[in-house]
Structure 1
Amino acid sequence: MASVHKDFMIDAQSDVVWDAVRDFGAVHQRLNPGFVVDSRLEGTVRILTFHNGVVAREELVDCDDTRRRLVYAIIGGERVRHYNGCVQVFADGDGHTRMSWVVDVLPNDIAPYIASQMDIAIEAMRKHLGR
């Protein structure tokens, strides 16, 4: 199984960043506008439409406010047999946030594509949330 790790900074208060991350159904408005163009909730599942037209069904696995950690999994994907993502938010100095985003994915050969899409998503988050 391939694991893609992204650790990055956002020039924003960690409370603000966590509030956007934990709003599972509004990722297209609060966390990643432009990268995610639409999101709708069906219970604990969000159906996302991405900037490139790809649609994914992501199920909320855990949202831990104490640890500021959100875990989700893609279900029923055509291109992936397994996809589990974890985002964690950490305060890092005055007004700065460090985020850790880890995705475990199968098949292994899709990991470079996932990593490149994560890079685009990170830039969208920085643009939207950063000062």
Structure 2
Amino acid sequence: MTDSQTDAAAAASDELARRVVVSHPDELSAWARDQLETERFRIYLRRVLDDLTPGHTWEEFVDVGCCGRSLDVPLRIESVDGPERMGPDTEIEYASRETEDGEMAGGWQVQSEAGPNATTGKARDE
């Protein structure tokens, strides 16, 4: 790499967020939390998330396994260290927030409408 390429790469990295805190509802199931924590999900967010404005809220599909219904999780940007632009090395940290009324409408319904519900992450943490 030439000196000018090194300088350009350094300048570009200075224009990217170092760390982004993304929150999820505290009633999110333990399974769904595990899906958020996977490296594949973090890589996905680094590629597609273009609005890092604190307070920005959007929904993302989270894998619920082979027998569940799809679950769209409302995520929100809580804080950004550095410029509001995601990069391949931006650290993504998750935090829980209090679930708002009607915010979590998905979950497990395995094989029937009366199927078991997953333990919520909130219940697991208590």
Relative to the length of structure 2, the TM-score reads: 0.30
**Structure (1 or 2) with the larger CA radius of gyration:** 2
Give 1 or 2: higher strand fraction. Answer: 1
Relative to the length of structure 1, the TM-score reads: 0.29
Higher relative contact order (CA 8 A, sep 6+): 2
